[in-house]
Structure 1
Amino acid sequence: MKTVLVSGSSVAGTALAYWLREQGLTPVVVERAPAQRRGGQAIDVRGAALTVIRRMGLETQARALANHSDGMSVVDPAGNEVFRTEDFALSSGSLDSDDIEILRDDLVDLMHARNDGIEYRYGDSIAAIHQEDDAVTVEFEHAAPRRFDLVVGADGLHSNTRRLAFGPEADYIDHLGTYLSVFGQDNYLGLDRWQTWFNDGRNGGAVMTVRDNAELRIYLGFASDPIEYDHRDTAAQKRLVAERVTGFGGDVPGFIERMWGAEDFYFDSMAQIRMDTWSAGRVVLVGDAAHCAAPTSGQGTSLALVGAYVLAYELGRTPDDHALAFARYESRMRPFVEANQKLAFIDRQTVDPEESARRTDAVKDLIDLDAAID
């Protein structure tokens, strides 16, 4: 059996491990975190990605955990409501859609439960990659070196695998001018299946109920040119948010206060990854590591799920010719990726919601999961 090292155990890596085993390959997953990462935002599964979840036998469970909103409101910087609707939500689109909005960690947990027996190596990461004609020797930060047939980087926007195999992140990242944070809290506001958005033209955020109103997800963001900061220094990231998201009334000062104690705090730039190729020899990238579309596209999770499925499918078709499998994977995925990356540039606070939904619907199925490319 072909052994495949998968770096990263979030959506793309977990889905890929499942589908690789389904195709008769042997995945090994390495994850820098000491356990499955918790927290994160509500994510959308739609179109072809919904088909992938269905084929994993997870649709019923995912829908049971789905986040549901009865509507949304927009408030001005002082906290006064200026708009309200029960037809759509900025986070997910039309409220009568068949799409699934679900918390990132809930979806990963569902998929991870399908991966019983797959080897996971937590608390470690790739330190060096040495490609040979017939294998890849991987050095780890902690474990002893090991040989694999292939290596897949599914380790996100700031992919370590991409840096080692393709070069510096700066060569591929396109900053979109915004930084976003998200963290969870109990539903101390008493919101009922609702989300509220606020914005002063440059900075803003949102709060929404999740998990049957038991919890909130709070989003705080600000506009900025690229900032130099430590991606692992959470305290410094919280300071950046507190320094930039100012001048708001209403509930926002309370959000800032509660942010300081949030243990599941996440912060990053809104950025895209653009590469001429996603493979180099026996190393290939999937999900955000290859083509991050930015959360503003609403399609990052769908791209990760579909990319994992297509890559595993192509490797299963030609297990002894990884170069051909990689080429087919990229040929099938690239038009889908490019169309979805364009969605990140829709200003969802000013574009008519029906037009925004139409643009998303136009691309969410723009790939044939069962296509055969000769």
Structure 2
Amino acid sequence: MRILISGASVAGPVLAYWLTRHDFSVTVVERAPTLRKTGGHAVDLFRPAVDISEKMGALPRIEERATGTTRMTLQREGARRPVQVDLSKIFSAASERHVEIMRDDLSEIYYDAARDDVEYIFGDSITAISPDGEVRFENAAPRRFDLVVGADGLHSNVRHLVFGDESRFSTFIGAYLGVLTLPNTSGLDGELLIHVGVGRTVGMYGARHLGDARALFLFRSERELDYGYRDVTRQKELLRDAFGDFHADVDHWLDELDRTPTFYFDSIAQLRMDTWSRGRVTLVGDAGYCPGPAVGGSTSLAVVGAYVLAGELARAGGDNERAFPAYERAMAEHVRGSHAAALSAAKTLIPASRLGVSGLVQGARLLSALPAGPSRALLRLTTKSARLYSSMTVDDYPPRPAASGRRVGLGNEPGVE
């Protein structure tokens, strides 16, 4: 059975890995000419995603490339003194297993895990998918596949082709984010600097192996802002407007906007669909059920979704009419929980009032000060995300015996085999 996956970020390579372990023939098409190295930001892998990564043999490399962020300096707008927070306690309270890693590093590690068994096509994109499985591309000749999976993110091309315009499924949750790469002039290594005020939060972090730093901006907006998806000049202008006169540190970070080698800006939106499957096509990760960039644990959800989709296809012997509904049933509760947790996290991380700012600062101080046991109990009482990831369970889908002896490729350099 031949399966085409669109997207080579996180969900795509994880899905490709597990499909090949279940003896499916896999092709991945990626619009970018190579694996994306766009700067990106740090993402979290919680217990289920860490467990799946360990099964893939990828966990040692993931832990090696972890950001190692264990400390946070939290500065409330207008306050004289910052609060020092032990992040390691908060992470351990939120999930029994947790790793923070740069998204680009994670994507490369997952790609390497199955590169020897998967056909990768870079620099191309799907333009049409017919009901009988014929797929047309921008550059390559048409080919026929038994199944097609959209793993191409929040602004999924496959979803647009098969299900219609994004506006039908995307729900704005009242906030925006921006990410930029900038020099690590403060020598940050394992530390996160946060400034928080009413309706806006910004943080900067770095790690020894990065060589530079990242600044992540989050701000509230009651209405959707007017800007072009590719109008970077306008996006930077909106960021400056939202964070002007905040703090001298933030002014310095904003000064890097015109020099940064990488920049990302988008609304924080959720994908809400009644079904992620139609005919021989289905969606996985952000393409089908994004809980919200930067607030909803979407990376862990994508890893879990890819693992479950591959497992259900194997369990059904490749019969998508049985596998796709089973996949959606298995993921439904996880997706609903992630969506709810993201809404809660956005309210906490971007406080809408002075009381909310004070609550965030004092809560972080308390969690950091308490012993591990009480801090874990308090976090589970007060945050939906902690309860969600601690309680998430996933079936075991063992590879077929014929596939279990395959070598797991863990090369060092991305490329097309």
TM-score above 0.5, yes or no: yes
Q: Which amino acid aligns with 1:177?
A: G
Structure 1 position 55, deviation (Å): 0.5
Conserved? CA contact 2:187–2:206, under 8 Å: no
Q: Which runs of 5+ in 1 are unaligned?
A: none
**Helix, strand or coil for the counterpart of 2:348?**
coil
Q: How does 1:3-42 map to 2 (within 5 A)?
A: 3-38=2-37, 39-42=39-42
Structure 1 residues 320 and 124: alpha-carbon distance in aligned structure 2, compared to 1, 3 A threshold? same
Cα distance 1:95–1:333, how it changes in 2: closer, same or farther (>3 A)?
closer
What is the total number of aligned residue pairs between the two structures?
367
How much does 1:319 deviate? 3.1
**Taking structure 1 as reference, are residues 233 and 178 closer, same or farther at Cα in structure 2, changes over 3 Å only?**
same
Q: Which of these residues, 215, 219, 223, is aligned with residue 222 of structure 1?
A: 219
Q: Are the aligned partners of 1:333 and 1:367 in contact in 2 as well (CA < 8 Å)?
A: no
Residue 47, structure 1, aligned to residue 47, structure 2: yes
Alignment-derived partner of residue 353 in structure 2: none
The structure-2 alpha-carbon separation of the partners of 1:229 and 1:7, relative to structure 1 and needing over 3 Å to count, comes to farther
Q: What is the aligned-residue identity percentage?
A: 37
Larger strand proportion, structure 1 or 2? 1
Q: Taking CA–CA contacts closer than 8 Å with sequence separation of 6 or more, which of the two structures ends up with the larger relative contact order?
A: 2
Return the structure number with greater helix share. 2
Q: Deviations over 1:299-321 (max 9, x none)?
A: 11110001000101111122341
Q: CA deviation at 1:367?
A: 2.4
Residues 192 and 322 of structure 1: is their aligned pair in 2 closer, same or farther, counting only changes over 3 Å?
A: closer
The answer to whether the Cα contact below 8 Å between 1:193 and 1:212 also exists between their aligned partners in 2 is no
| 2:102 aligned residue | 103
TM-score by length of 2: 0.82
Which residue of structure 2 aligns with residue 207 of structure 1? 204
Distance 1:61 1:242 in 2: 37
Residue 29 of structure 1 aligns to which amino acid in structure 2? V
- Pairwise CA RMSD of aligned residues? 2.3
Work out the CA distance in 1 between the residues paired with 2:96 and 2:328: 29
Quick check: 2:92–2:98 contact (8 Å CA) kept in 1? no
Conserved? CA contact 1:187–1:213, under 8 Å: no
Match of 1:367 in 2: 393
- Looking at structure 2, the residues matched to 112 and 324 of structure 1 have their Cα atoms a distance apart, in angstroms, of 28
1:83 aligns with 2:83: yes
User: SS at the partner of 1:227?
Assistant: coil
CA deviation map 1:198-229 (0-9, x unaligned): 12211231111224574322112322221243
Using the alignment, how far apart are the partners of 2:324 and 2:149 within structure 1?
Answer: 11
Q: 2:298 aligns with which of 297, 300, 304?
A: 300
Alignment partner, residue 309 of structure 1: 307
Q: Secondary structure at the match of 1:114?
A: helix
Stretch moving more, 196-205 or 54-63: 196-205
Distance 1:303 1:49 in 2: 8
Task: Measure, in 1, the Cα distance between the counterparts of 2:94 and 2:163.
Answer: 41
Instruction: Report if the CA contact (8 A) 1:93-1:357 is conserved.
Output: no
Separation in 2, partners of 1:185, 1:75: 20
3-state SS of 2:109 partner: helix
Q: Within the alignment, does 1:188 sit opposite 2:214 as a pair?
A: no
CA distance in 1, matches of 2:218, 2:295: 16
CA contact (8 A) 1:159 1:289 kept: yes
